[in-house]
């Protein structure tokens, strides 16, 4: 794409953005890691099924369970005003939001200042190797616009790997399930390498998709470089004219 052909609205992130991103990623890793290490990582699913849970299909309902577990754990941390992560607010995303949870961390040594991060929770199965391996993240048009509107927009992918097993109640002979979160990975979307980020044209204006969420490479780039990467992937799939029409309608170019 000939850059001189368009008058771009170029997002300019703050010099401290890389530091802010590292703080958010580190805090989330520590919070989830501590929950796993302390054994606060189990979700109990009580049923009246005598033959047990359909474990071969349990991954289809795992996402909402794991997301709810993460939300409640963050909320428990936030309730302690002296929590070591400076987590001051937790909000659940609405149905059409591109994120599942919003976390706000207080910036140390700065009054009335906080880091707001948007978390997309993805569940993957330890027992089913292909489950959740290549998830859709968010729409190209939406995330591209978010980064233009707010060059310091923090979008985090929280990948939670789980396993599920059953226990039988000897009195009722009914089977109950236990879903256990066993590991996590945390990424800032903007830092995923180009080869790890695919453009999936199947839905609407297209979805960003992680190639393999279990194996991701991280690269340093700023907001404008990320927008250019997204544009390149879209144009390769749908052509320059389609991109130009969208860019004009969303105010990315004049």
Q: Give the pLDDT band of residue 131 (cuts 50, 70, 90).
A: low
pLDDT (average), residues 16-40: 96
The C-alpha atoms of residue 28 and residue 158 are separated, in whole angstroms, by 8
Q: Is the pLDDT of residue 60 over 50?
A: yes
Which residue range forms the structural domain that includes residue 61? Answer: 15-250
pLDDT (average), residues 214-243: 95
Tokens of 228: 């250019």
In a domain, 158, yes or no: yes
1 vs 217, residue with greater confidence: 217
Q: Which pLDDT score is estimated for 178?
A: 86
In a domain, 239, yes or no: yes
In a domain, 201, yes or no: yes
In a domain, 8, yes or no: no
CATH number, residue 31: 3.40.600
Q: What angle do CA 149, 184, 231 make, to 5 degrees?
A: 30
Helix (H, G, I), strand (E, B) or coil at 80: coil
Taking all residues of the chain, what is their mean pLDDT, rounded to a whole number?
A: 89
The C-alpha atoms of residue 219 and residue 217 are separated, in whole angstroms, by 7
Domain count, the chain: 1
In a domain, 9, yes or no: no
Range ranked top by mean pLDDT from 36-45, 55-64, 156-165, 186-195: 186-195
Q: Which pLDDT score is estimated for 3?
A: 47
Q: Is the pLDDT of residue 96 over 60?
A: yes
In a domain, 3, yes or no: no
In a domain, 106, yes or no: yes
pTM above 0.85, yes or no: yes
In a domain, 7, yes or no: no
Q: Which pLDDT score is estimated for 55?
A: 66
């Amino acid at each position: 794409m000939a850059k001189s052909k368009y008058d771009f609205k170029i997002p300019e992130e703050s010099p401290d953005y890389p530091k802010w991103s590292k703080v958010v990623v580190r805090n989330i890793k520590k919070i989830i890691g501590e929950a796993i290490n302390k054994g606060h990582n189990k979700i109990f699913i009580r049923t009246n099924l005598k033959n047990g849970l359909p474990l071969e299909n349990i991954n289809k309902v795992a996402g909402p369970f794991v997301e709810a577990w993460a939300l409640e754990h963050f909320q428990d941390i936030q309730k302690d005003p002296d929590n070591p992560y400076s987590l001051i607010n937790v909000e659940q995303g609405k149905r059409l939001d591109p994120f599942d949870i919003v976390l706000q961390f207080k910036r140390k040594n700065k009054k009335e200042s906080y880091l707001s991060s948007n978390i997309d929770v993805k569940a993957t199965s330890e027992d089913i190797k292909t489950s959740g391996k290549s998830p859709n993240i968010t729409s190209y048009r939406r995330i591209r616009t978010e980064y233009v509107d707010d060059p310091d927009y923090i979008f985090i992918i929280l990948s939670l790997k789980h396993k599920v097993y059953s226990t039988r109640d000897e009195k009722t002979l009914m089977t109950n399930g236990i879903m256990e979160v066993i590991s996590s990975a945390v990424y800032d979307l903007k830092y995923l390498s180009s080869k790890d980020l695919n453009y999936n044209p199947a839905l609407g204006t297209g979805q960003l998709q992680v190639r393999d969420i279990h194996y991701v490479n991280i690269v340093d780039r700023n907001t404008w470089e990320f927008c250019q990467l997204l544009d390149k992937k879209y144009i390769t799939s749908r052509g320059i004219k389609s991109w130009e029409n969208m860019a004009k309608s969303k105010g990315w170019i004049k």
